[in-house]
Chain A
Amino acid sequence: MDFRHTQLENGLTIITEVNGEAASLAAGFFVRTGSRDETPAVSGVSHFLEHMVFKGTDRRSAFDVSREFDNLGAEYNAMTSYENTIYYASVLPEFQPQALDILCDMMRPALRNADFDVEKNVILEEIALYEDQPKFRTYDNLMSAFFAGHPLGNRILGTNSSVKALTTEDMRSYFDGRYCPGNMTVVGVGKIDYSAFVDKVGAMCGRWTPGAASRQTACPPTATAKRVICDKKLIQQHIGLMSPAPSCQDADRYAAHLAATIIGDSTGSRLFYALVDPAIADDASTVHDPLDGAGGFLTFISAEKQRADDALRIALAEFKKFMDSGPTDLELQAAKNKIASGATLQGELPMGRLGAVGLDWVYRREYLPLAEEIETILAVTKDQVADLVRKYDLTAVATVALGPREQL
């Protein structure tokens, strides 16, 4: 593995992890923007804009973008989160120049009115799609309950009315403020021809007007609100719990990842034995969600409505128990091995590596080879995990309960 990076004069950063043995490469634009960077008036614009970026440029129609990517046999897509918008394509090594040509061009989209109007309907369909997914609704509500009043509680998709009200002028203005070179990183992973990569990005993006964007990252106050959303159409009770945890920048994030794995991995975790093994809940999992300057432990539980109280009580008791006594040696070793396996499997695919390499840079301006990351995880001690869960109160949760129950 060979890490190289450079910056264009206008501030656009290019980073690559070159692996000469790989059979493919993945490239992406990481834009440091998401729903947390929106004002209420333009709620949903980051995600809508992500769709519009595929709608073509001054020299490509929407169909041209799709057709050219498909001609390369590329795997390409994009995603929008609370704080990142990522565009990516994976191709065989010989198609590096063509794939970069499309990706770089796309980043200066035409934002045509006619496309905007059609795509608005697609966004409204997407909002409806997630309405039929209780886990997503739970998550969406949990973020807004936990980050009460802070932009991290903003909905990624916006709402029907906020999306309907958006105009191309709103979007253009948001684009100008956020998609500036200083706020974007080009990432290449896999079998990359580095000098050709840098030359191509330079030729395509070097003319972009310099600029940078800021973000309010002061650690927001978090709430322990309880939000019960009664929906009689649902059969199961869906419960989400969120408590404070280390951020992306915090060295404690490794201990937090291990703690979450011990508490709520899908197999062999404390919640598995306490809730799923005895079938009190059909699903119970905890993850550590590190964000920019903030973070959370997120737990999702799905249970039948008459068992929901038990499930919630037991989960909180397990949190308490873990805070009191910390992990056992065996638990810690198992969690480390599971994380190391998972990271290795993911790291064997350029597409799997792209996210890790890109986000390490976006959040910390740092490159961490996979082997080093695994070593760091393996080096975390029992005391570090125990200290972490004493520092972050796992039971200080915001709670969302979505389902047939009126109260919980």
Chain B
Amino acid sequence: MQALRAPRGVFDVAYSHGLRKMRPCALTRRARLPTVPEEFFIHELPNGLTLLGQKMPNVSSAAMTLLVPAGASRDATGAEGAAAIVSEWCLRGAGERDTRALNDALDTLGCRHSENVQSAHVHFGSAQLGRNLEAALALYADIIRRPRLEDATFDPCRELTRQDIVSLEDEPAQKCHVLLREKFYPYPLGRCIYGSEQSLARITAAQAREHVGRFFAPSGGIIAVAGNIDWETFRRLAESYFGDWQAPPPHPVATRKPEGGSTHVKKESAQVHIAMAQKSVPFGDERYYAARLAESILSGGMSSRLFTEVREKRGLVYHVSTHYSSLKGLAGMFTYAGTRPEVAQKTFDVIVRELLRLSEGVQPDELARSRTQLKSALVMQGQSTAARAGAIAGDWYHLRRLRSLAEICAAIEKVTGEDVLAYLKAFPPRDFTTLVIGPEPINTGGANE
């Protein structure tokens, strides 16, 4: 789930005294890129697992991203939510360690870890001091290859997943995104990762174990590390832990046509939550960077078109944004706004008008600004070991190669205004899938004429 972007927010003091959610940042036309080339490492094991590394100077942490091709789109019919349960269950004891011993071991290494489920993968992430990386890897070898998956720990994991669904009711903005993805992507690729209350009521430990048995496989799996790493040591260890892992590659996921259309979910919420999606080009398409520039012109900074027209000039919203998101070979441009019921229709109309106006032309200064912002974000993110581990894993999954900073910057630089317009012509702002949560429906018909 994409975190909502909240410019000028209230300081979330519950977690205070470290600035909240510092989004990685900033560069421009004249900005100097770092001159030291990135140190990338790629090692493909014969069983299909890929090891990736990026050695970063001047950091003491090392972050690890482990992608196992057992995501929510793999959930068997009737066992929807299996992947989500499994992502919890794997941490409830693995190898020689029970739940407590495993968690204590992770904590003792200072692992800041998280587990979540995506469409294609179960994602394990852990960031720690570089000197603890190898010990953390040993634990993850257990978690992925030897999870205990005991009957006694199954029910709580299923129950937590069920409460995740229930909790969505109290978070309409989140729910809006979940439902939109379900309608927008070909089923089951955008399916709610938690399954449904019905499927979770029925699902058994045996079914969840079968999910692990079939889809926890090396083929298509990725282990990426970035930061203060000793690649040779890491590679050798990873090979010793995962080299003998054998399992047949999972079959492709069968999909059916997306539902699309306009949906209103009635809810007495304080705001009307409006989300809309339209098709875009996938990561790796030659028009990819043009799409990202279009996204940035619409929603890149506080001078972007949506922020200026919807919030700054008209005061219709606190939050409005567009973001690009890509599954493998399949992508969308997602726009969200939260607004009070009395101005919901107006907000929707202004957004659609702005989306249409973009295809009428792009100003050179907007384009230059957006290029700068995209490149800046790269350099800023490049300082975070966790962001880099995630980025190289993503590159490999989508492209089967790693992109250097210089390559990305050159590609962004090359995009012209005509390229952006050609992209918008190929993907005109119409045929939206829309999802509205609020007391009353709004008329979304105008957007699809």
Chain A positions near chain B (C-beta within 8 angstroms): 21-24, 47, 50-51, 54, 62-63, 65-67, 69-82, 84, 86, 88, 90-92, 94-95, 118-126, 128-135, 139, 156-157, 233-236, 238, 248, 267-268, 272-273, 276-279, 282-283, 287, 289-290, 298, 300, 302-304, 330, 333-335, 337-338, 340-342, 344-346, 348-352, 354-356, 359
Contacts and interface: CB of A to CB of B under 8 A. Distances in A.
Contacts of B17: 248, 289-290, 355-356, 359
A345 B64 CA distance: 13
Contact of A351 (B22, B269, B386): B22
A73 B112 contact: no
Contacts of B31: 73, 92, 94-95
A350 B318 CA distance: 27
A82 B190 CA distance: 40
Contacts of A337: 107-110
A334 B22 contact: no
B376 A73 contact: yes
Contacts of B11: 79-81, 84, 86, 156
A119 B384 CA distance: 34
A94 B28 CA distance: 10
Given A54-B8, A124-B340, A268-B103, 12 more contacts: A73-B372, A90-B22, A128-B338, A130-B10, A132-B270, A233-B268, A267-B113, A277-B92, A302-B163, A302-B167, A335-B107, A348-B385
B442 to A, nearest CB: 16
Given A81-B13, A279-B156, A91 B26 contact: yes
A21 B25 CA distance: 17
A234 B170 contact: yes
Contacts of B173: 129, 132
Contacts of A81: 10-11, 13, 16
A334 B104 contact: yes
Contact of A330 (B23, B108, B159, B376): B108
B20 interface: yes
B26 A304 contact: no
B111 interface: yes
A133 B171 contact: yes
The range of chain B's interface size is: 35 or more
B108 A79 contact: no
A349 B163 contact: no
B325 interface: no
A23 B34 contact: yes
B433 interface: no
A79 B7 CA distance: 9
A21 to B, nearest CB: 4
B100 A63 contact: no
Interface in B364-423: 368-369, 372-373, 375-377, 379-380, 382-386
B172 interface: yes
A123 to B, nearest CB: 8
Interface stretch (B55-63, B141-149, B251-259): B55-63
Contacts of A130: 10
Interface string B303-345: 1100110011111111100000000000000000011100000
Nearest to A346: B18
